[in-house]
């Protein structure tokens, strides 16, 4: 058989000779020569055009092939397949081909839930029961360019009353579910719920450091798995020629491939089989900055279990002009049918007709059918390309592009027989992501959500206030205030840790008698057995207690409290995580109690 070196020395494809590569062949290993051959065959000779004589930059030339090997091994089907798909998608994009041509949209089937009603409570209980059989996967490899925060998004405080960051809140929520599930099933399963975090080169080290410097926020390190996604090669033209890195001529430029990578990473990690062997049944995917999500998780998992959905997509009602996708059932005359999220830029007219729901990038999949599907696809997800063309001839790009894929496009390849449904939640309960910087948020048309750090934090206080109202607490109406140019409702700043009340029933069990909370109040509870009994709060109350302490709080508690002060996001003397919200607390007076010993305690004014 012809050796790769011989093959390469004869290569002269499309009139494209590769003399500079040929001169350097002796530097390369047989595997590297195979990769070189593949690149030349796939029309990538330009990558070697500038290569100097052997003896110059030899280490860099070898490092180039290390990068090619990584790009090749981390993509299902290898780099050749990536380039081939890119050519097809770029040709479709140039031709203006709509990927949904021939499909008719309609509203898909699903379960509409309203917080606190009978149906909701029933699903919540079923969900808590099932939580022992679930694994959680957080996709946290994104750069967060729109937010523009310098750190990783999961390290941002979710709210500044306690300063709890998103990652801590997610971990505490999973642990609270684990305990509640164990209690409800009377310890039948005493399982540690697995937690996977997908990171990228942009977030990996800082995510690991955040976990390690905080003792994994109480989770066993063995319970947590970090899977790092790799970037993909950039494309410089419609022929899918790979783009050189502007910083280093011996590298290919790379960019993130999108959160769809999570499926192939999970598949190749071997975790899925481990989980199914251990008896797990569900896998839950969620995003980095939605502080409300876990309020919707128990009931949604209950829907999956009760309705036996292979795929359950969480959704909230969609506002008319929101620049975000919508869930749609698409049916083709040839029999194909799918329930998927359609991005707003893909099919706006279609969305206007049917896209009444907006998905929250949260999926609950049944593990068995998921594994069967991944065996067929290797975890590859339908990709898309979004080049920014220089002009209407669509022959050249403003900057390099790349293929991308989305986690929630997983159902696109499923057969019509798959049970694909969705769960609709109250927006106030379930969805308040932090994605936009203050300047962009301030430009959002009135009535549409800001999705900023300001609105994300205020949404937590609103949700907690509304939840307490549902269980009978008299909570005063909010006032309107403007922070960083965004008008928001300011409710009493109420927070509690997930163990105190993850479900409607749990919160209800913690409140009795006639309780009231004034608008200017702050209440932060960190404990499990903390009970509010005939409490009238007008000021700031901070309670911390160990699990073994039982604390009853009542009477009329009044103090000067905490005042919300405006902060300008341009004021760099204020820490970034504060100024992106546009406010901070001036802590004037509070009642703060720590119960660090077991026992029964009364705090009565
Ligand atoms: P976003 O849509 O918020 O994208 O991602 P982003 O890249 O983080 O932010 P922008 O678009 O640059 O402003 C949704 C979720 O998917 C994760 C993000 O971390 C977030 O949880 N993600 C995104 C990945 O894990 N990998 C990616 O390549 C992209």
pLDDT digits (tens, 9 = 90+) for 457-479: 999 999 999 999 999 999 999 99
Q: In ligand 1, which atom is closest to the CA atom of 286? A: 21
CA distance 367 to 321: 35
Domain end point (choices 73, 105, 121): 73
Domain end point (choices 50, 73, 96): 73
Helix (H) or strand (E) holding 340: strand 337-342
Here the CATH number for the domain that contains residue 526 is 2.160.10
* Tokens coding 374: 């991944």
Per the listing, tokens 């180039």 go with 64
Residues 6+ apart with CB under 8 A from 544: 526, 527, 593, 594, 595
Residues 6+ apart with CB under 8 A from 575: none
CA distance 603 to 570: 42
Q: Is residue 301 part of a domain?
A: no
CA distance 544 to 551: 10
The answer on pLDDT for 321 being more than 60 is no
Mean pLDDT of 372-399: 92
Closest CA to 116 of 501, 528, 560: 501
Mean pLDDT of 359-364: 86
The answer on pLDDT for 570 being more than 90 is yes
The per-residue pLDDT for range 23-34, each reduced to its tens digit, is 899 999 999 999
Q: Is residue 161 part of a domain?
A: no
- Whole-number Å distance, alpha carbon 307 to ligand 1 midpoint, is 30
Answer whether 149's CB lies under 8 Å from 577's CB: yes
Closest CA to 242 of 94, 383, 68, 437: 68
Answer whether 197's CB lies under 8 Å from 226's CB: yes
pLDDT value of position 130:
95
Q: Which of 137, 140, 153, 259 is the pocket-test mutation for ligand 1 (most atoms within 8 Å of CB)?
A: 259
pLDDT value of position 13:
43
Residue nearest to atom 27 of ligand 1 (CA): 258
Residues 6+ apart with CB under 8 A from 208: 199, 226
Mean pLDDT of 37-50: 94
SS3 content of the chain, % helix, strand, coil (to 5): 35, 30, 35
Residue nearest to atom 15 of ligand 1 (CA): 287
Q: Is residue 436 part of a domain?
A: no
The answer on pLDDT for 19 being more than 90 is no
| Structural domain containing residue 52 | 4-73
What percent of the chain clears pLDDT 90, i.e. is strictly above it? 78
19-33, 42-56, 323-337, 489-503: least confident range: 323-337
Closest CA to 167 of 324, 312, 293: 293
Q: Which residues of 416-430 are buried (b: 16+ CB within 10 A; e: fewer)?
A: eebbbbbbbbbbbbb
Q: In ligand 1, which atom is closest to the CA atom of 141? A: 25
Residue 16: band (very low, low, confident or very high) from pLDDT cuts 50, 70, 90:
low
Q: Is residue 520 part of a domain?
A: yes
Helices H, strands E: what count in the chain?
18, 33
Instruction: Give the Å distances, CA to CA, from 246 to 243, 250, 261, 402, 468.
Output: 9, 10, 25, 16, 55
Q: Is residue 135 part of a domain?
A: no
Mean pLDDT of 194-208: 97
Instruction: Give the Å distances, CA to CA, from 94 to 242, 385, 392.
Output: 18, 11, 10
Domain end point (choices 43, 73, 103): 73
Answer whether 342's CB lies under 8 Å from 389's CB: no
63-72, 340-349, 382-391, 547-556: least confident range: 340-349
Decide whether any atom of ligand 1 lies within 6 Å of the 325 Cβ.
Answer: no
Q: Is residue 555 part of a domain?
A: yes
pLDDT value of position 6:
62
pTM above 0.75, yes or no: yes
| Burial class, 2, CB count within 10 angstroms (exposed 0-12 / middle 13-18 / buried 19+) | exposed
Cβ contacts of 390-395, under 8 Å, gap ≥ 24: 394/93, 394/94, 394/238, 395/238
> Based on the structure, what is the number of domains in the chain?
2
Decide whether any atom of ligand 1 lies within 6 Å of the 433 Cβ.
Answer: no
Decide whether any atom of ligand 1 lies within 6 Å of the 143 Cβ.
Answer: yes
pLDDT value of position 328:
75
Q: Looking at per-residue confidence, does 376 or 530 come out higher? A: 530
Answer whether 148's CB lies under 8 Å from 436's CB: no
- Whole-number Å distance, alpha carbon 338 to ligand 1 midpoint, is 24
Mean pLDDT of 65-83: 95
Q: Is residue 468 part of a domain?
A: yes
Q: Is residue 157 part of a domain?
A: no
pLDDT value of position 348:
53
């Amino acid at each position: 058989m012809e050796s790769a070196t011989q093959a390469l020395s004869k290569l002269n494809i499309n009139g494209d000779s590769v003399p500079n590569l040929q001169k350097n062949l002796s530097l390369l290993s047989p595997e590297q020569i195979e990769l070189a051959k593949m690149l030349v065959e796939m029309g990538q000779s330009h990558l070697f055009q500038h290569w100097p004589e052997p003896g110059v930059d030899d280490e860099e030339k070898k490092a180039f092939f290390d990068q090619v090997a990584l790009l090749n091994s981390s993509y299902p089907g290898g780099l050749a397949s990536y380039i081939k798909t890119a050519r097809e998608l770029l040709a479709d994009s140039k031709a203006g081909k709509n990927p949904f041509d021939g499909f008719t949209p309609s509203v898909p089937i699903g379960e509409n839930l309203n917080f606190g009603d009978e149906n909701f409570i029933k699903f919540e209980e079923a969900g808590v029961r099932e939580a022992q059989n679930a694994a959680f996967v957080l996709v946290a490899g994104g750069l967060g360019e729109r937010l523009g925060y310098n750190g990783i998004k999961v390290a941002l405080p979710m709210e500044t009353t306690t300063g709890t960051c998103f990652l801590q809140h997610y971990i505490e929520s999973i642990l609270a579910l684990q305990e509640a599930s164990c209690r409800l099933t009377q310890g039948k399963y005493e399982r540690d719920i697995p937690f996977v975090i997908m990171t990228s080169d942009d977030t990996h080290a800082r995510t690991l450091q955040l976990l390690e410097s905080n003792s994994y926020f109480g989770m066993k390190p063995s319970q947590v798995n970090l899977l790092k996604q790799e970037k993909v090669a950039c494309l410089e033209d419609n022929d899918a020629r790979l783009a050189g890195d502007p910083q280093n001529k011996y590298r290919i430029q790379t960019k993130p491939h999108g959160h769809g990578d999570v499926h192939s990473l999970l598949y190749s990690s071997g975790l899925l089989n481990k989980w199914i062997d251990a008896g797990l049944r569900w896998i839950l995917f969620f995003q980095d900055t939605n502080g409300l999500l876990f309020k919707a998780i128990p009931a949604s998992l209950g829907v999956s279990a009760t309705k036996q959905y292979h795929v359950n997509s969480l959704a909230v009602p969609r506002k008319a002009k929101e620049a975000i996708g919508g869930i749609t059932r698409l049916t083709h005359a040839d029999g194909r049918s799918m329930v998927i999220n359609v991005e707003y830029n893909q099919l706006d007219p279609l969305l206007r007709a049917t896209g009444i729901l907006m998905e929250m990038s949260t999926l609950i999949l049944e593990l068995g059918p998921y594994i069967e599907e991944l065996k067929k696809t290797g975890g590859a997800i339908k990709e898309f390309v979004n080049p920014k063309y220089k002009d209407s001839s669509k022959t050249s790009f403003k900057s390099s592009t790349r293929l991308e894929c989305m986690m929630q496009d997983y159902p696109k390849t499923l057969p019509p027989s798959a049970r694909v449904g969705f769960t609709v939640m109250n927006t106030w309960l379930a969805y308040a992501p932090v994605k936009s910087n203050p300047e962009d948020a301030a430009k959002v048309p009135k009535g549409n959500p800001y999705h900023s750090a300001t609105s994300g934090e205020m949404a937590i206080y609103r949700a907690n206030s509304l939840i307490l109202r549902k269980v009978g607490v008299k909570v005063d109406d909010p006032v309107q205030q403007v922070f960083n140019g965004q008008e928001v409702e300011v409710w009493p700043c109420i927070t509690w840790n997930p163990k105190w009340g993850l479900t409607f029933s749990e919160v209800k069990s913690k409140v009795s008698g006639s309780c009231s909370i004034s608008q200017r109040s702050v209440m932060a509870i960190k404990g499990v057995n903390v009970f509010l009994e005939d409490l009238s709060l007008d000021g700031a109350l901070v309670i911390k207690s160990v699990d073994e302490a039982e604390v009853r709080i009542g009477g009329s508690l009044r103090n000067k409290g905490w005042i919300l002060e405006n902060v300008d996001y341009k004021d760099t003397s204020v820490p970034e995580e504060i100024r992106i919200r546009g406010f901070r607390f001036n802590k004037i007076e509070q009642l703060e109690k720590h119960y660090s010993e077991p026992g029964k305690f009364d705090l009565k004014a």
